[in-house]
Structure 1
């Protein structure tokens, strides 16, 4: 599991470093986000940041629900495919929102910080749970819970950094 997490971080680091080329080479966008981007409220950095925040909530919630349902089945390694698909869909959504949004660099920073703050809040909550981890009964071993929380911390902080970097990346700034 540690190897998979480390490989995921290496791949995400590569994607972050090559995000401009990935955005230029891929013309596939999510049609719903393109449709929303034509609305007048989408040009407001705070409202588009809140939209990105809720996109992150929906993507995370859908992935968590799929993984929860998947625990009822005994199909090995399917959860890894679900997580890889969730990462790919999230990056596609972030890329589409970033390409659809036009504004100043300062406004793009506002939009990116507000939108990716879901993962920052989740990271802070996981850190709080980790620091307050106590045995539920005498003799309870909290090691596996600590390992799970550590992996959750790593995943959410990487998601925060990736979402923020995709939100901030664009060559299309307008001067206001």
Structure 2
């Protein structure tokens, strides 16, 4: 599992280093981009940041729900496919938000800081849970709970950085 975590993080780093190529590969004429571009409220950095925050919360909740439901099935490694799909969908939606917004650098950073703060709050919750792990009992494996929370903290940190870089720190130099 840790190999997959390191491999996924490595792929995200490669993506972030080459994000301009991915921006050019995605279309700006999709339904979501057009709807957001034409929405008046989306041009306000505060409203669009709150939208991004709730979008991240919904994406995370749906992914967790699907992973929990996949635990009821006997299909091996289905949870890994769900996590990969959730990552791809999240990045695609962040790219769409990047294409839709027509803000200055300061406004993009404000929007991105508000939107990606969901993952910061999630990271704080996971760190709080790590700090407050109870003593181990035969029914409660503290070490495995620690490893799970450590992985969750790492994933939320990577999501925070990725969301912030895509939606807030990327330059708009082109129009498809």
TM-score (norm 2): 0.92
Q: CA deviation at 1:170?
A: 2.7
| Counterpart-to-counterpart distance in 2, 1:98 and 1:26 | 11
* Structure 1 unaligned regions, length at least 5: none
* Structure 2 unaligned regions, length at least 5: none
2:67 is matched with which residue? 67
| Counterpart-to-counterpart distance in 1, 2:90 and 2:115 | 12
Instruction: Provide closer, same or farther for how the CA distance between residues 28 and 103 of structure 1 changes in structure 2, counting only shifts above 3 A.
Output: closer
1:126 is matched with which residue? 126
Contact 1:45 1:110 in 2 (8 A): yes
Q: CA deviation at 1:19?
A: 0.8
**Are residue 167 (structure 1) and residue 163 (structure 2) matched?**
no
Measured against aligned partners, the alpha-carbon deviations of 1:86-139 in whole angstroms (never above 9, x if no partner) come to: 100000000000110011111111000000000000001100100111126578
1:143 is matched with which residue? 143
Contact 1:50 1:114 in 2 (8 A): yes
Contact 1:12 1:162 in 2 (8 A): yes
TM alignment of 1:1-16, pairs within 5 A? 1-16=1-16
2:41 is matched with which residue? 41
SS at match of 1:37: helix
SS at match of 1:126: helix
Instruction: Provide closer, same or farther for how the CA distance between residues 4 and 54 of structure 1 changes in structure 2, counting only shifts above 3 A.
Output: same
**RMSD over aligned Cα, in angstroms?**
1.7
**Are residue 93 (structure 1) and residue 99 (structure 2) matched?**
no
TM-score (norm 1): 0.92
SS at match of 2:38: coil
Instruction: Provide closer, same or farther for how the CA distance between residues 30 and 77 of structure 1 changes in structure 2, counting only shifts above 3 A.
Output: farther
Q: CA deviation at 1:33?
A: 4.6
